[in-house]
Amino acid sequence: MSYVEKLRTLVIEGGLAEAPGLTQEALQAGIDLREIIDHGLIAAMEVVGKKFSEGELYIPEMLLSAKTMQSSLNVLRPLIADKGIKAKATVVFGTVQGDVHDIGKNLVIMMMQGAGFEVHDLGTDVAPEKFYAAIQTHKPDLCCMSALLTTTQGAMGKTIKFLQEKGIRQAVKIMVGGAPITEDFSLSIGAHGYAPDAASAVEKAKKLLGIQ
Amino acid sequence: MITLSILREEERKKILAASFRVLDETGVQVDHPAIFQKLGAAGCRGDEEKKRIFFPRGLVEEKLKLCPRSASFANRTGDIFLAEPGGPSVFWTGNALNFTRGKESRPITERDFAAFCQVVDALAHIQGVVGTNLSEYPPETRDFVGFRIMMENTTKHLRPCIYTPQGAAVIVEMAQEYLAMLGKDLQTCPIVSTGYTIVSPLHWTREGLEVYAQTAGYGLPAMINSECISGATSPVTLAGTLVLANAEALSGIVINQILEPGRPCIYNLGFSHVMDMKTAEPTTGAPENGLLAAAGAAFARDLNLPSASWTCSDSACVDSQSAFERAVVGLVQLLGGANIIWGAGNLEFTRAISLEQAVIDNEILAAAHRVKRGIEVSEETLALDLIQQMQSQAHYLTSDFTLKHYRRELATSNLVNRHRRSAWEKRGAKSLEEAAHAQVEKILKQPAGHRPDGPGLEKVRAIEKKWLRKILG
C-alpha cells in the first residue's frame, strides 16, 4: 500500500494519533504535496461524506475522520503556504443577527473543512455589517448564513439587501439554511442556494461553486 | 396511579448536587442588563464583561421556597386544572411550522390552525392548545394573531407560542380584556399561560428574559424550559444532560422569583432531545425522550414543583412510526409523572401538526391514562361475593356488578378497530389513519354555532387590529 493509500485509509478509519507521523513519513519519502492532499486527505473525506450521507457512518466517527485530516493538514500547512496551494473554496459562515443558535452552523463548517474548504467562522448574532466586512477581508467564494428561529430568518434577507447596497452582492455566492428555512424562502430573499440539512450542505455548496 | 421511577433517590441527589455546582461555578450567561443587575442585587455573583451570573446554592434554595407547589390552568368552560407534584397529567398540543395532510406538508396558514383548534376542541383527552407559526403573518405578529385564532376556535386552555416580548404583552392585554367582560381576571381564571426556553447550554437571551419580565406580576404560570440536545448542546450521557438541564431550569426559577415572588413556575426538563448521530436531527420520538422527561418530572417532585414535557414523533407523516413513538414515549412521560405534556398532534420533530395525528393521539392518550390509573384493589373490586355466586357459570355480562363498574374499569375507543374482519369490511375497511381522517371530517362539519364566540372576542379582535396597525403601519 502506498503512503497516499495508507493515509487515505487512516483518515477514513479515524487514526488520529498516527496521522501526523504518517504524513511526515510521506513527505520524507518525496510524495508530492498535491498528491497527499487530493488523493489522500480529500479523497478520504469524500468516502467518509458518502458513507455519512448513506447512513453508514455516525457523526462522531465522521468528525474523528475530519480531525484526523486536520492533524495531517497541520503538518502540511507550512508547505501549503510555501507552494501557494489554495483551498478548494473559501467560505465565510455565520448565524444571522438576533440568533445565537449554532449547532447546525458548526456541523456544516466541520463538514466543509473536511471537504477541503477554508471556512471563516463569524460566530452567532452576526450583523450584516460584519458579513460585509468578512467578505471584504477574506474574498470568499461562498457566504453561508444560518438561522433557527422564524423571528430571525428575516435577518438573512436584510443581510443580502445590505450586501446588494454595498455593491458586493454578486461577488460571492450566498447559501442559507436552518430549521425554518425553505427553498421558497431562500429564493424569495435572493439567495443562490439552500440546503435542508447538514448532510447535503457540502454537496450543495460544491454544486453552487462548480466544484467536482 | 402508577408512577414510574427512572432514577433512585441517591442518583437524583447526586445529579442535583452536580447541577448546583454548575450554577455556582460555571454560571449562566444572562443577556438582559436589568435582570443581570437584579440577580446581582439578590446575591448572585456576576461577571459583567462575560454577562455571566453565578448562582449560590443557598440563594437558589431560598427562591425555590417562594414557588407555589401548584399552578392553575383554566379553560373557557370553567374547569381549572391544578398541576402539582404527584398530581394528574394533562396533554396539550405543540407548536410547529408546517401543516401535514397525508404525505404532503405546507407552511401553516390561519385556516389550517383554526381547523386544528376546532378538531382539538372536540378531543376529550387533549386539554390545552399551543400556538404555532402562521405563514401569512409577519413573525413579530404571529403570537398574538395566533392567540386570537385560538380564542375563536377552542375553549381549551391557551398557551400561545411567544415570538417577541411585545407579543407577550399584547396577549396579556387581550386576555385581561376578555376576562374583564366576564367579570374575571387572570389571577383567578388563568386561561392563558406562558413560558420560554433557555438556549442550551446555559444562556438566557434578552428576548426570553424580557418575555418573563413582560408577563410577570399577573400571577400567570410560567413554564421554565430547558431544551438540551444530548450530544450536541449537552453531554451525550443522559445523566450529564440532566445535570445541565436542572441547572438551566433552576436558573429560570430564580429569575422568575426575583421578577415576581411567588409566581407559579413549571419545572420543565422534558423538552430535551437527543441528537440522532446519523442525521444530526434532535429527536422527539426516541426512547431517551421518555427517559429524560420522566426523570425531569421526578426532579420536579423532589423540588416540590409541577412539571412538564413534550412528546412527539420524528415521522414525517401519520403512520405506524408516529403511532408507536407517541405510544412509547408518551406513556413513559405520563407514567413518569409529568403534569403537562405537550405535543398532541405534532409530527416531524415538532415541526408539523396534523389533524389526523391529533385524533389518533387522543386515543393513545386515553389508553395511556388508563394504564397510569392502574388496577384498583378494594373489597368492592375484588368481587368475591360475585365470584362465589357465579360459581362455574359465565354470566358476569348480565350482572349488575358489570353494569356498575365497566365504564370505569374498561377504556373504550371510537377509533381503533375491535371488530372481526367481516364487520370491519362492512364498515368500510378503514385503516387507523382513514378512521382518523373520517373523524376529522365529521368534527369540521359541525355547525359554526358550536364555536366559541361572544362580546369578549370582539375586544380581542379589536386589540389584534390595533397592534397589527401599530406594528405593520
DSSP annotation string for B396-408: GGGSHHHHHHHHH
pLDDT for A113 beyond 90: no
DSSP letter for B448, please.
G
Pick the more confident residue, A50 or B53: B53
Q: Which of B164, B199, B280 sits opposite A198 (nearest CB)?
A: B280
| Cβ-based neighbours of B119, under 8 Å, separated by 6 or more | B355, B358, B359, B440, B443, B444
Write down the pLDDT at residue A49: 85
The interface predicted TM-score of the complex, written ipTM, equals 0.83
Q: Which residues of A touch B275 (CB under 8 A)?
A: 59
Helices (H), B84-164: 110-121, 142-153
Tens-place pLDDT, residues B97-116: 999 999 999 999 999 999 99
Query: How much is the average pLDDT of B281-288?
Result: 95
Q: Which of A100, A151, A180 sits opposite B203 (nearest CB)?
A: A100
Tens-place pLDDT, residues B190-240: 999 999 999 999 999 999 999 999 999 999 999 999 999 999 999 999 999
Interchain pair B278, A58: CB under 8 A: yes
Interchain pair B232, A60: CB under 8 A: no
Task: Work out the pLDDT band at A53, boundaries 50, 70, 90.
Answer: confident
Write down the pLDDT at residue B94: 97
Tens-place pLDDT, residues A133-184: 999 999 999 999 999 888 899 999 999 999 999 999 889 999 999 988 999 9
Query: How much is the average pLDDT of B249-274?
Result: 97
Q: CA B323, B273, B344, B313 torsion: positive or negative?
A: negative
Interchain pair B275, A199: CB under 8 A: no
Contact B144, B166 (CB under 8 A): no
Q: Which of A57, A150, A199 sits opposite B133 (nearest CB)?
A: A150
Locus of grid cell 451525550? B236
Cα B3 to chain centroid distance, Å, stands at 18
- Consecutive H or E run containing B224: strand B222-225
Tens-place pLDDT, residues B417-432: 999 999 999 999 999 9
Pick the more confident residue, B322 or B455: B322
Nearest Cα of chain B lies from the Cα of A208 at a distance, in angstroms, of 23
Percent of chain B having pLDDT more than 90? Answer: 94
Tens-place pLDDT, residues B162-180: 889 999 999 999 999 999 9
Which residue in A165, A183, A91 sits closest to A128, CA to CA? A165
CA separation for the pair B196, B175 (Å, rounded): 19
CA separation for the pair B27, B49 (Å, rounded): 13
Mean pLDDT over each residue of chain B, to the nearest integer:
95
Query: CB of A43 within 8 Å of any CB in chain B?
Result: no
Query: How much is the average pLDDT of B312-319?
Result: 97
Query: CB of A188 within 8 Å of any CB in chain B?
Result: no
Tens-place pLDDT, residues B10-28: 999 999 999 999 999 999 9
Tens-place pLDDT, residues A171-187: 999 999 998 899 999 99
CA separation for the pair A22, A13 (Å, rounded): 14
pLDDT for B456 beyond 90: no
Write out residues 75-104 of A within 8 Å (CB-CB) of B.
100-101, 103-104
Q: Which residues of A touch B207 (CB under 8 A)?
A: 151
- Consecutive H or E run containing B255: helix B238-259
The values of phi and psi at residue A177, to 5°, are -170, 170
Query: How much is the average pLDDT of B110-135?
Result: 96
Write down the pLDDT at residue A122: 97
CA separation for the pair B310, B341 (Å, rounded): 5
Q: Which residues of B touch A197 (CB under 8 A)?
A: 279-281
How many angstroms separate the most distant Cα atoms in chain B? 82
Which residue in B145, B98, B126, B163 sits closest to B342, CA to CA? B126
Write down the pLDDT at residue B414: 85
Query: CB of A59 within 8 Å of any CB in chain B?
Result: yes
Helices (H), chain A: 3-13, 19-28, 33-35, 43-53, 59-83, 103-114, 128-138, 154-165, 183-188, 198-209
Contact B259, B210 (CB under 8 A): no
Q: CA B273, B137, B74, B444 torsion: positive or negative?
A: negative
Q: Which residues of B touch A57 (CB under 8 A)?
A: 278
Query: CB of B333 within 8 Å of any CB in chain A?
Result: no
Of the listed ranges B74-78, B257-261, B270-274, the least confidently predicted one is B74-78
Write down the pLDDT at residue B448: 64
